[in-house]
Amino acid sequence: MNKVYSAIMGLVVGDALGVPVEFEQRDSFKITDMIGYGTYRQPAGTWSDDSSLTLATVESIGRLGKIDLSDIMQNFYKWLHSAEFTPFQNVFDYGMTTYNAILRYVQGEAPENCGGKSIMDNGNGALMRILPIAFIPHSDSDIYKVAGLTHAHEISQRACYLYLFVAEQILKGKNFRMVFEKEDIWQKEYSRISKIRNLKRKDIKSSGYVVDTLEAAFWCLYHTDNYSNCVLKAVNLGDDTDTIAAVAGGLAGLIYGCSGEKGIPSKWISQIPRKEWIKKLCNEFENKFKKI
């Protein structure tokens, strides 16, 4: 199975595992398998805005064969307004920074000017959807522009750059744990990532702040050796469970794939709504870019 599908399905499954316990306090629950209902009263396997906006990005780039900021924003609008790219034609979760960016777009603002630019606009809403860019030719500027559609503050854009840097190293066959230990890469807000091997669970925050999310996702990836353990560790951190598991799960899917003992369990994939449509989107995307 292609790497695009493995990564995107890894993200979707992680998201779905976290949806039922989003905002729950750490250690007030224990997730060991895919469940339903909980926070949003959704059936097992339901994904949230994390996956919807990722899939909206996959669809746009796969259809056009390039990054088109207006087209991606149009897909985001279709998601918010018409519930496209959702599992059950129902939008039940979104961040206000993303909502406001889409509103600016609808009101006629140029896509590159829609993203929130204040220090308060550093939720994880760009990080959660940026993974498709790893699979196509792109510049650093492209990363910042796609992130900036909704989150245009440098802290959020930098998180997306760092996340894709790790993804690209994985695609090149590099040891991802060694990447984390290169101190010169992890600067300013992200400096703790270079010490992630020594951080304990109590040291890890699992909030929606993009710095916390990136650090938590990398911590889960570093301290596990298979897909299931990675995403379950992420979900059981509590708080922003779906996004942290989605961000971690995208990379874990890329590393461990969709088969074998370490890969995404088939029983979890079987519970994902519209899984054949997701596979089709990923195949069309990959066929446009023979990079993988």
| CATH at 94 | 1.10.4080.10
pLDDT digits (tens, 9 = 90+) for 239-267: 999 999 999 999 999 999 998 999 999 99
pLDDT digits (tens, 9 = 90+) for 151-180: 999 999 999 999 999 999 999 999 999 999
Task: Sort 30 into a burial class: Cβ within 10 Å, 0-12 / 13-18 / 19+.
Answer: exposed
What is the C-alpha to C-alpha distance for residues 83 and 48, in angstroms, rounded to an integer? 11
Name, in order, each residue with C-beta under 8 angstroms of 176's C-beta and a sequence gap of 6 or more: 166, 169, 170, 221, 222, 251, 255
Domain count, the chain: 1
- Average of per-residue pLDDT across 221-231: 98
pLDDT tier, 45 (very low <50, low <70, confident <90, very high otherwise): very high
What is the predicted pLDDT for the residue at 252? 98
CB 95 within 8 A of CB 52: no
Domain that holds residue 55: 3-288
What is the predicted pLDDT for the residue at 143? 98
Enter the pTM of the model: 0.96
Rounded to 5 degrees, what angle do the CA atoms 111, 254, 227 make? 120
- Average of per-residue pLDDT across 47-58: 98
209 pLDDT higher than 90? yes
Angle between helices 241-256 and 3-18 in degrees, nearest 10: 150
